[in-house]
Structure 1
């Protein structure tokens, strides 16, 4: 959903009330902000929302995007995938007082908690369709397109709601400039032709998830312009491709960014097949804890912060 149609609608009666309130001592700007509304185009059609919402509940997974644009939600479903009761550690300074009301990748949320937050705007995704009617009884609801793998598209969709596309684009331009610079530094340190693959452990099932067209994988290949191995598996949906240890060996990457737990790391260090992989033998494995790094690159603030993490690990 790009370039949302936006109109400003002022109710004459409400505007008059705002003027009267202002005369009695209330800030005129606050009165005006409360009376102004916008019509935005959503997945569900046109919806009237406050022009300057003060109490946003976001269950779509776009809370970082809101923060970047100057809106701190009162309720969020942006949680650490491995600590679902908490916001990611790197967002605690911005979302530490925001109430967790669900998990953005689930199809529901805590409606009672949302109601208790008295929101004036709710942002949701199509995967939560079944609670749409309940939520719109609480406050105006904007349903955004589901673009989980398209982190840039997510940011621009949120920016469209508030007519802040230019602000979002400036942030993106700054991000990409830094990412390209970090990529150049990595290539200068390790060589232009070195290849990189990002994986996440699923050792309980004897396999790994490969970040091919999303998450950490695109930070390396698209943003930093680092080379991917020729035999990396294709990704054709939100689901990450899976490979076994033997399949990982066949990918034959010069460098591996491994996301997992400390116990996963210890298990692999004692695995003979793992220790025969070239990147492992050459000492070219970067280990990152799955909390918060598994989901961090899917979100803009996390994606920016991870550039320095990767640089510090790969530039020796």
Structure 2
């Protein structure tokens, strides 16, 4: 009986020793102290999803996306200002102030109106940011990756602009930087309004395109000059249109603006024609704007190709400040 008990105790002791040895093998020796440290358990970070409501629908995207495709140049200049890296852009007609994105390290994702779906699909992007020129392809792009419409609503420019800025700041964790940027923009716009409200000068906004001219009024594509900056309109009945209302040079003389704002589309897209050559003709030279040296050629990079971004809006403000 005693032999049986001794044998059972011996087996029990061996089992304990084996268990302790197994535990020690899982532990890591601390070479400095000789102590045993428990193995670390790797924690996996789960990306935080963000639901974004925009003009074309509702999109769920993970915060801080790494592979970003941008079709809107205003949003591109915003991400550039915030120091956010992008992976793909449409490299044709990139504004000169964003020329660094013509580099081969960025994937060329096609044209503004003709995206290269094959190239975009091969990238496996985390998010695609689009505006009006790509809106008809929203569903097709959404099949590749979460797609967000970031075009600015010109009928409510600043509110739309700020919504876009706050959205992208939250998406990339740049809320503090964006808050400071928007506060500065608000302050500068208030100063412009204070001056423009005291002036009786009437202004007209036109786009020059291969010798043809279109006018833009309140709430239009370039209506920010009237709606936000407070410049009085020479003609308040102009139709609201993305492409503007086609006009003649006789119309410009009849309207007789004190300030004539000009956006040169030919210069923006690299055309051979010059808006100045066609606009500063004998009829326009009779206007108050020409006589007073107030024909203002706005930078088409900011006004035509981009706009609605942190950099472009600040540059637009700067050009209008110079007029006053």
CA contact (8 A) 1:195 1:226 kept: yes
**1:72 matches 2:72:** no
User: Aligned equivalents of 2:133 and 2:188: distance in 1?
Assistant: 33
CA contact (8 A) 1:199 1:209 kept: yes
Which of 110, 113, 121 is the equivalent residue of 2:116?
Answer: 110
Unpaired runs of at least 5, structure 2 = 1-39, 268-272
Which of 229, 234, 253 is the equivalent residue of 1:224?
Answer: 229
User: Aligned equivalents of 1:266 and 1:69: distance in 2?
Assistant: 39
Equivalent residue number for residue 101 of structure 1: 109
What secondary structure does 1:36 align onto? Answer: coil
**1:63 matches 2:76:** yes
Q: Residue deviations 1:224-260, cap 9 Å, x none? A: 323222x244343433223211112222221112222
Q: TM-score, normalised by structure 1?
A: 0.68
**1:254 matches 2:277:** no
Equivalent residue runs for 1:1-316 within 5 Å: 32=45, 35-42=46-53, 47-60=59-72, 62-68=75-81, 71-77=84-90, 85-92=92-99, 98-104=106-112, 106=113, 108-125=114-131, 128=134, 131-132=137-138, 134-139=140-145, 141-144=146-149, 147-149=152-154, 150-152=156-158, 153-157=160-164, 159-160=166-167, 162=170, 167=176, 168=178, 170-184=180-194, 192-205=199-212, 207-218=213-224, 220-229=225-234, 231-260=235-264, 261=267, 263-269=274-280, 271-288=281-298, 290-312=300-322, 314-315=323-324
Q: Residue deviations 1:286-315, cap 9 Å, x none? A: 223544543444433212012223333x25
Equivalent residue number for residue 19 of structure 1: none
Distance 1:181 1:226, change over 3 A: same
User: Aligned equivalents of 1:45 and 1:200: distance in 2?
Assistant: 32
What value does the CA root-mean-square deviation take over the aligned residues? 3.6
Unpaired runs of at least 5, structure 1 = 1-21, 78-83
CA contact (8 A) 2:208 2:214 kept: yes
User: Aligned equivalents of 2:279 and 2:57: distance in 1?
Assistant: 50
